[in-house]
């Protein structure tokens, strides 16, 4: 079996981000602290080959549909489609053989790298032949720009995201409970006990999910976080680690962001809560909730999702 390729993007500040074509994913992100010391701020394996057995979606491009689709089914234009089930009776992150399991074609250029993937009609139950791309570029302001695009030859649904787990301390044996988070979100989508949205859009006011002002994650942790927040603007999130001085800022064209605190990490090799995800996305289970923004993509249209992640230090 061919070893997956590794591609590294770097800039004048010493930031270096390593990617692999297996899952079009982020493998390593070296970023300086306030004293200029470099450390890896994302969870990942030493070998790209190890991602073949990854069940935590470490750093990958998630597709065709990020997050959950209830009962692994949806109706589009009066036709019911049945998807592969990989979380009990539900469909998670593209199914049994999602985009994280695929080897993408890629072209590297001066500005970064573009990964491409063809997903045939019927792939994991989805309709339409989908042509997808994930472009990564790193600038000298320490901004990683991720641009997803897709086109289809039949009506289908699309929702891509990146599933990097961040730990700004650079020490992956430590939890992220000492990180401070601000989310530009006054609402969220409540879920049932199987983490499927109820269809309600509720206010964060008065709940432990109110991160409109910067909060220490450990102060309102409870059982952990795995929630979809409805964004109030493009400036989605700010994550800070006071000890190292590292700050992560996220902008997106998407309507929502999933804050996931690594609740299901199982110690192989990363323990629970040693990394957190901030996944820019459409709402989970959108096809089954007509009051949610549409995720339908039709022939002649282009899906486009831009996310900018900047890591700095103060």
Mean pLDDT of 251-267: 96
How many CB atoms within 10 Å of residue 216? Answer: 14
Give rounded-to-5 percent helix, strand, coil for the chain.
Answer: 5, 45, 50
Interatomic CA distance for residues 20 and 24, integer angstroms: 6
| pLDDT for position 188 | 98
pLDDT in tens, 186-225: 999 999 999 999 999 999 999 999 999 999 999 988 889 9
Angstrom distance (rounded) from CA 134 to CA 200: 31
DSSP string covering 204-244: -TTSTT--SS-EEGGGG-TT--EEEEEESSSEEEEEE-TTT
**pLDDT band at 268; cut points 50, 70, 90:** confident
List the one residue out of 121, 123, 105 whose CA is nearest residue 113: 105
3-state class (DSSP) for residue 36: coil
Closest C-alpha to 249, from 176, 145, 118, 159:
145
The two tokens of residue 21 are: 């074509």
Active site residues: 163, 279
Percent of the chain with pLDDT over 70: 100
**Alpha-carbon span 92 to 89, nearest angstrom:** 10
In the predicted structure, residue 90 carries a pLDDT above the cut 90: yes
Tell me how far apart the alpha carbons of residues 39 and 141 are, in angstroms, rounded to a whole number.
18
Q: Is the pLDDT of residue 271 over 90?
A: yes
DSSP label at residue 276: B
Evaluate if residue 246 carries a pLDDT over 90.
Answer: yes
Under CATH, what is the fold of the domain 6-313?
A: Beta-galactosidase; Chain A, domain 5 (2.70.98)
Contact between 184 and 237 (Cβ < 8 Å)? yes
Q: Is the pLDDT of residue 298 over 80?
A: yes
d(CA 105, CA 116): 5
Please compute the mean of the pLDDT values over residues 150-156 and round it to a whole number.
98
How far is residue 14's CA from residue 238's CA, in Å, rounded to a whole number?
22
- Residue 287 DSSP code: G
**pLDDT on residue 60:** 98
Q: What's the DSSP call for residue 246?
A: E
The residue with tokens 């791309």 is 133
Query: What does pTM read for this prediction?
Result: 0.97
Check if the beta carbon of residue 31 is closer than 8 Å to that of residue 137: no
Q: Is the pLDDT of residue 1 over 70?
A: no
For the chain, the average pLDDT equals: 96
| Count of H-run helices and E-run strands, the chain | 0, 26
Average pLDDT of 51-60? 95
Q: Which of 185, 187, 172 is nearest to 276 (CA)?
A: 172
Contact 94, 101 (CB under 8 A): no
């Amino acid at each position: 079996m061919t070893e997956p390729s590794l591609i590294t993007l770097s800039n004048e500040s010493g930031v270096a981000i390593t990617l692999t074509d297996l899952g079009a994913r982020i493998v390593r992100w070296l970023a300086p602290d306030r004293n200029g010391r470099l450390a890896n701020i994302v969870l990942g394996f030493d070998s790209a080959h190890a991602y073949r057995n990854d069940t935590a979606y470490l750093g990958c491009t998630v597709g065709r549909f990020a997050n959950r689709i209830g009962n692994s089914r949806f109706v589009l234009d009066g036709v019911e489609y049945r998807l592969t089930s990989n979380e009990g009776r539900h469909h998670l992150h593209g199914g049994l053989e999602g985009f994280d399991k695929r080897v993408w074609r890629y072209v590297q250029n001066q500005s970064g790298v573009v990964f491409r993937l063809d997903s045939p009609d019927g792939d994991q139950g989805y309709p339409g032949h989908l042509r997808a791309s994930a472009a990564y570029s790193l600038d000298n302001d320490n901004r990683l720009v991720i641009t997803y695009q897709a086109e289809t030859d039949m009506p289908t649904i699309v929702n891509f995201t990146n599933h990097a787990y961040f730990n700004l301390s650079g020490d992956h044996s430590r939890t992220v409970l000492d990180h401070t988070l601000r989310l530009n979100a006054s609402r969220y989508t409540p879920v049932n006990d199987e983490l499927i949205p109820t269809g309600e859009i509720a206010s964060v006011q008065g709940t432990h999910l109110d991160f409109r002002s910067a909060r220490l994650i450990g102060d309102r942790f409870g059982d952990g976080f795995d929630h979809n927040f409805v964004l109030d603007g493009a400036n989605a999130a700010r994550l800070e680690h006071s000890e190292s001085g590292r700050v992560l800022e996220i902008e997106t064209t998407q309507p929502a962001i999933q804050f996931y605190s690594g609740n299901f990490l199982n110690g192989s090799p990363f323990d629970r809560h040693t990394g957190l995800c901030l996944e820019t996305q459409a709402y989970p289970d959108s096809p089954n909730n007509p009051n949610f923004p549409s995720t339908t993509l039709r022939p002649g249209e282009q899906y486009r999702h831009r996310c900018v992640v900047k890591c700095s230090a103060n």
